[in-house]
Amino acid sequence: MTEVAWLAALCAGAGAGCAAAAATAAGGSSEAEHWLERRGRARTSAPSPRPENRHHAVLDWVLGSARRRRERLQTELVPLLELLSLELGAGQTALSGLAAVCSRLEGPLARDLRRLQLMSQVAGSAPFEARLEAYADRLQLPAVASLASVLHASRDYGAGALPGVRALAADLRRAQRRQLIALSRRALNQVLAPAAFGILLPFLGILLFPALSTLSRSLR
């Protein structure tokens, strides 16, 4: 009878332990569910970027890409004009010399000019000079517009294109040289300003410290 009672008590204790473990697991799972729910609400309540900011970022990227493209085309125009002046000096016409130069170059400007020449050769289409002027207006390239004016004058009035092409190439070279000098000066100022404030001022302080300390002691 005593053994039966001891076994019954043991079974009751085990059942109570299992119930307590189940309750603890249920409580832990409920706490985990509450934590996940709070995390989800925090994520949904986090401020999302405004549409205006996204639009401004896209606009800045587009404007920056257009500016970099114009700079690349402007840089490629200088060697193209120098080669064109050599072709004109050898006796080529303006359009044939430009076609020969564009066939040798592989840049974006040369590809665009080859495409414009092919389009101008179609019957009933606009001439190459008009297409080049429209191209310069669309990309905001004044130097290309000047080249179109030189070619237009050479075709309509029989004027020689060589002096105009040489002058345009020289002007672009001078503009690039001035831009390079301005960039080098700006870089030099950016290097010298930290050096002046970080090295010169502490050096002056070290030099003047003995004199200032002596002056302060003499005034006491």
- Tens-place pLDDT, residues 155-195: 887 778 888 999 999 999 998 888 888 888 887 777 777 77
Query: Could you tell me if residue 45 is inside a domain?
Result: no
- Chain centroid offset of residue 101 CA: 30
Q: Which residues contact 137 (CB under 8 A, 6 or more apart)?
A: 145
Instruction: Give how many domains the chain has, as a whole number.
Output: 1
In this structure, what token pair is assigned to residue 206? 């070290």
Range of the domain at 155: 67-179
pLDDT band (50, 70, 90) for residue 205: confident
**pLDDT score recorded for residue 53:** 67
Query: Could you tell me if residue 25 is inside a domain?
Result: no
Please name the amino acid found at residue 5: A
Q: Report the pLDDT averaged over residues 182-209.
A: 77
**pLDDT score recorded for residue 124:** 78
pLDDT band (50, 70, 90) for residue 115: very high
Query: Could you tell me if residue 202 is inside a domain?
Result: no
User: Dihedral of CA 136/169/188/72: which sign?
Assistant: positive
Q: Report the pLDDT averaged over residues 44-56.
A: 59
Q: What's the chain look like in SS3?
A: CHHHHHHHHHHHHHHHHHHHHHHHHHHHHHHHHHHHHHHHHHHHHCCCCCHHHHHHHHHHHHHHHHHHHHHHHHHHHHHHHHHHHHHHHCCCCHHHHHHHHHHHCCCHHHHHHHHHHHHHCCCCCCCHHHHHHHHHHHHCCHHHHHHHHHHHHHHHHCCCHHHHHHHHHHHHHHHHHHHHHHHHHHHHHHHHHHHHHHHHHHHHHHHHHHHHHHHHHHHC
Q: Report the pLDDT averaged over residues 81-110.
A: 90
Q: How far apart are CA 171 and CA 81, in angstroms?
A: 11
Structure confidence by residue, pLDDT tens digits, 129-161: 899 999 999 988 899 999 999 998 888 877 788
**pLDDT score recorded for residue 33:** 55
Query: Could you tell me if residue 218 is inside a domain?
Result: no
Mean pLDDT of the chain: 76
Query: Could you tell me if residue 116 is inside a domain?
Result: yes
Structure confidence by residue, pLDDT tens digits, 35-44: 556 655 555 5
Query: Could you tell me if residue 40 is inside a domain?
Result: no
pLDDT band (50, 70, 90) for residue 113: very high
**pLDDT score recorded for residue 52:** 64
Query: Could you tell me if residue 1 is inside a domain?
Result: no
**pLDDT score recorded for residue 39:** 58
Query: Could you tell me if residue 22 is inside a domain?
Result: no
